[in-house]
């Protein structure tokens, strides 16, 4: 995903349930932050998954909680 971003290519991350899209997306956003890209992001997630996203953010990148 970072390679596509750096090469200005649009991509959609989609596959079957349970294959790590949440962690992949969080890693991508964290990679952007660590490389100095200062921007906002819109992540579209079904309402039923918001609690899961917050739990994964707490587990995988707790230092970014102040950006929520």
Model confidence pLDDT, tens digit, residues 10-21: 888 777 777 788
Model confidence pLDDT, tens digit, residues 37-52: 877 777 788 888 888 8
Integer distance in angstroms from the first to the last C-alpha of the chain?
Answer: 21
Q: Rounded to whole angstroms, how far apart are CA atoms 25 and 59?
A: 14
- Indicate yes or no: pTM above 0.75: no
- 39 vs 1, more confident: 1
Mean pLDDT of the chain: 81
């Amino acid at each position: 995903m970072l390679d596509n971003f750096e090469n200005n290519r649009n991509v959609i991350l989609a596959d079957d349930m349970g294959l790590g899209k949440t962690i992949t997306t969080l890693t991508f956003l964290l990679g952007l932050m660590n490389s100095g890209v200062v921007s906002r992001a819109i992540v579209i997630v079904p309402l039923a998954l918001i609690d899961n996203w917050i739990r994964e953010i707490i587990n995988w990148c707790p230092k970014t909680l102040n950006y929520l």
